[in-house]
Amino acid sequence: MRLYDFEVKDRNGNPVSMKEYEGKVLLIVNTATGCGLTPQYEGLEALYQNYKDQGFEILDFPCNQFGNQAPGNNEEIHSFCQLTYHTSFPRFSKINVNGDDADPLYQFLKKQKGSILGSGIKWNFTKFLIDRQGNVIGRFEPTTEPKKIEVKIKGLL
């Protein structure tokens, strides 16, 4: 399977083919609104504003698996992110990233790039960097600030 073979759900539950993002550099992130790392939304939005016109997209997948730090429904999460951090990048339906019911996209991403501690996602704000051909180029742990990924993003654009 390739990245572009997957289908995800937008925040309204509608299917979205990953083919829509073919040819773009992607940063795929599992997020939470009540996490100590939630302020990373500011850095993510700054990257998005700087590079969206060059073919860069951030795909935001809220996840409530880590300390129940993404409470609320999809619309509540979306409103919080827009009002608090002024985010404008695509946000999808809440998913699980670990376990038997992990979203198939995340199963794929974890197989492509494990971490030092194994393939499982350790916490909110784990980031996967994808090149224009759909290859998973890098995996960044939750504590990696978005700004620290900027050089790699620029190199792929």
CA atoms in the 13 A half-sphere facing the CB of 77: 29
Distance in angstroms (rounded) separating the CA atoms of residues 2 and 131: 13
Residues carrying an active site annotation = 35
Rounded to 5 degrees, φ, ψ at 29 are: -135, 135
DSSP 116: T
Distance in angstroms (rounded) separating the CA atoms of residues 75 and 55: 26
